[in-house]
């Protein structure tokens, strides 16, 4: 009997990591084996769910000023916030609905403040999926007075290593910015970095990951926040490495597998950890780009079943792939 660890990321737009993990584990059980569900995340969307799910909901300011009801988690003195739920691009229906110049992280700052006011002394902030390139200025404004965060540990879970000023050129186009707007945002980040240095004595331009979420990570670093690899943080919190010691196969996956999947993302992290532990890995992806297999056992749902089923019924397709592999 094979012990199968289902440790996927989300399939963006079609299935959550939890739904994918259930499909994988269910297929393992249907084939007569043991299926263990461990949905993962890398600091982006799904991080809150991977770390226990929400048990709070608060009305905060959305990225363009409209109120949004943002879920978050408080457990004892630990809080988990997913900034995409307060300041995310998905809240606006994507890049077409965004104003990349005006988009603000103010609502994320409100959530951080609420967590501290509720007794949190350790706050994890997942920073993927943002609509913003405001350098975190909005969040800091919502957090005033900043002195109240002394003694509060803030940990920023990032899935990129981009530096502060580079956030404009790397990410702003994905958020709807034109080339002229990208340059305006870049210059704004340069000025903001200088203001942060003058005010806090921290040079955010020299900090890896400070450009995550359009510079929100760098802004929080001025308060002493630690910027960490999001996958490693989630994996550590849920005991991924410990579980590896007791399984015979790991199945992971995401919607689109490409070269970036191996740069701080779930699939790359799972594959590296499992390979180091001597555990075989199966990667199931909606589609595969850029020859991203990297020597792994990879199944593309589009190639296996065609695009129509891969996108209309990803969970059924995932179940069938894993079942066929294990029966």
The CATH number of residue 146's host domain is: 3.90.1510.10
pLDDT of residue 264: 84
Number of domains in the chain: 2
pLDDT in tens, 5-62: 999 999 988 999 999 999 999 999 999 999 999 999 999 889 999 999 999 999 999 9
Residues 138 and 269 in one domain: no
pLDDT in tens, 106-138: 999 999 999 999 999 999 999 999 999 999 999
Contacts 24+ apart (CB under 8 A), 278-282: 279/5, 279/244, 279/247, 279/248, 279/249, 279/250, 280/248, 280/249, 280/250, 281/249, 281/250, 281/251, 281/252, 282/249, 282/250, 282/251, 282/252, 282/322, 282/325
pLDDT at 212 over 90: yes
pLDDT of residue 326: 94
Residues 64 and 182 in one domain: yes
pLDDT at 295 over 90: no
Residue 242: inside a domain: no
pLDDT at 214 over 80: yes
- The answer to whether the predicted template modeling score (pTM) of the entire model surpasses 0.75 is yes
Residue 238: inside a domain: no
pLDDT in tens, 71-99: 999 999 999 999 999 999 999 999 999 99
pLDDT of residue 305: 95
What percent of the chain lies above the pLDDT cut of 70?
99
Range of the domain at 101: 47-231
The CATH number of residue 31's host domain is: 3.40.50.10350
pLDDT of residue 238: 97
Residues 83 and 138 in one domain: yes
């Amino acid at each position: 009997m094979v012990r199968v660890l289902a440790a996927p990321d989300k399939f963006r737009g079609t299935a959550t990591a939890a739904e994918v993990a259930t499909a994988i584990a269910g297929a393992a059980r249907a084939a007569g084996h043991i299926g263990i569900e461990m949905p993962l995340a890398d600091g982006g969307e799904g991080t809150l769910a991977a770390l226990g799910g929400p048990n709070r909901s608060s009305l905060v300011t959305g990225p363009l000023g409209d109120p949004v009801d943002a879920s978050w988690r408080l457990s004892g003195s630990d809080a988990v916030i997913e900034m995409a739920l307060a300041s995310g691009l998905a809240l606006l229906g994507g890049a077409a609905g965004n104003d990349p110049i005006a988009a603000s992280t103010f609502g994320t700052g409100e959530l951080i403040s609420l967590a501290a006011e509720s007794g949190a002394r350790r706050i994890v902030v997942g920073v993927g999926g943002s609509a913003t390139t405001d350098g975190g200025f909005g969040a800091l404004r919502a957090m005033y007075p900043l002195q109240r965060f002394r003694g509060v540990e803030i940990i920023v879970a990032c899935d990129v290593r981009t530096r502060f000023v580079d956030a404009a050129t790397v990410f702003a186009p994905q958020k709807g910015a034109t080339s002229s707007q990208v340059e305006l945002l870049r210059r704004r980040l340069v000025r903001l970095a200088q203001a942060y240095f003058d005010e806090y004595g921290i040079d955010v331009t020299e900090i890896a990951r400070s450009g995550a979420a359009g510079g929100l990570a760098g802004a929080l670093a001025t308060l002493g926040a630690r910027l960490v690899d999001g996958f490693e943080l989630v994996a550590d919190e849920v005991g991924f490495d410990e579980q590896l010691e007791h399984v015979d196969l790991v199945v992971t996956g995401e919607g689109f597998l490409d070269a970036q999947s191996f740069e701080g993302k779930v699939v790359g992290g799972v594959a590296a950890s499992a390979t180091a532990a001597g555990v075989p890995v199966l990667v199931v992806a909606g589609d595969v780009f850029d020859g991203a297999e990297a020597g792994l056992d990879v199944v593309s749902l589009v190639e296996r079943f065609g695009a129509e089923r891969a996108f209309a019924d990803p969970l059924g397709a995932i179940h069938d792939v894993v079942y066929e592999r294990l029966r």
